Amino acid sequence: MPLDRFSRQIDYLRLSVIDHCNLRCVYCMPLRGLSFVPAPELLTAAEIETVARAAVGVGFRKFRLTGGEPTLRADIVEIAARIAGVPGVEDLAMTTNGILLPRLAKPLREAGLRRLNIHVDTLHPERLKKLMRFASVEEVEAGIAAAEEAGLVPIKLNCTVTRDYNDGDVVDLARRARDGDWHVRFIELMPLGGGETAHVALSQFVPSAETRRRIEAELGPLEPVPNAHPSDEARNFRFAGSRGIVGFISPVSEPYCGACNRMRLTADGRFHLCLLNDDELDVKQALRAGGGIAEVERILLRAVTLKPTGHRLDEGLSTRDRSMFQIGG
């Protein structure tokens, strides 16, 4: 596995396949003023496979499809099948809002997708409309059910906690982890890209410690669960006697940069070295100039070498060039 300058093993590639989304969550995408990567500038399924083969060649083993909303790619099942078919890929997962899973969960599972993270910020119908804007609780629940039926389990539910929008609803989601075999993760807002969404992230921020206190006050104490790997971004807990997991992802209040094992590929073909920095290396240009796996390996290893030690939010610095949907969380 490749090591960066700080002796971290970098073996996890998050592949954004599109920057479009069928929702407009208030902390991620504004309703107006958006511009998206033209379709010809997105990496093709074949180009994404080449990157995956190069990544495996230098020691990457885990892959995740992200966006935007990855299920909006018409060829998303082909992309999943191409990556899953690369010898050496040990895990292929996807982060999605789940809206299109009723028709895609089974084909994706058959293509080789193993796991899903489904984004759901609240189970309260009116507040979900206010926060995620173009979704309904019924659509989210249908997506979760389709994923379960397809065998894409255990499902992780991702909730981005936003003050005055859904911070009062975290108990209802945590209750699912107490009463069933659910993995529910509460994520802190991150200020990316400037503008309206960054303002929301700063003004509506809720630290994980506050979210945990609210959950424990209603449902009882949480007991720590050891992480399977030191690079896991979530601190995991469970209620006594429960099988479900409650996780907290705290990039702002409790950064985990020292254990980071991730590299990101944007939908327009750039290795993004750190989610909260602007540093990138272009790989699409090399691919379209005829560069093969060896050239992609060279660029990827260079990206690993240049990966920063961590973000600089404590200095008031974050990415300015791209928002989350343009990077791929």
Kindly report, residue by residue over 151-171, the tens digit of the pLDDT: 998 889 999 999 999 999 999
Query: Which range in 101-110, 228-237, 274-283 is most confidently predicted, on average pLDDT?
Result: 101-110
Instruction: Work out the mean pLDDT of the chain and round it to a whole number.
Output: 92
Kindly report, residue by residue over 7-28, the tens digit of the pLDDT: 999 999 999 999 999 999 888 8
Whether 318 has a pLDDT exceeding 70, the answer reads no
Q: 251: closest CA among 157, 163, 185?
A: 185
Whether 313 has a pLDDT exceeding 70, the answer reads no
Whether 178 has a pLDDT exceeding 60, the answer reads yes
**What is the rounded average pLDDT of the residues 287-314?**
91
Q: Which is the CATH superfamily of the domain at 12-327?
A: Aldolase class I (3.20.20.70)
Between CA 131 and CA 232 the distance in angstroms is 27
**What is the rounded average pLDDT of the residues 295-324?**
80
For the beta carbon of residue 33, count every other beta carbon within 10 angstroms: 8
User: Which of 36-40, 86-90, 282-286 bottoms out in mean pLDDT, i.e. has the lowest?
Assistant: 36-40
- Tokens 């629940």 belong to 141
Cα–Cα distances (Å) from 104 to 111, 116, 147, 197, 328, in that order, read 10, 12, 9, 29, 20
Share of the chain above pLDDT 70, in %: 95
pTM of the full predicted structure? 0.94
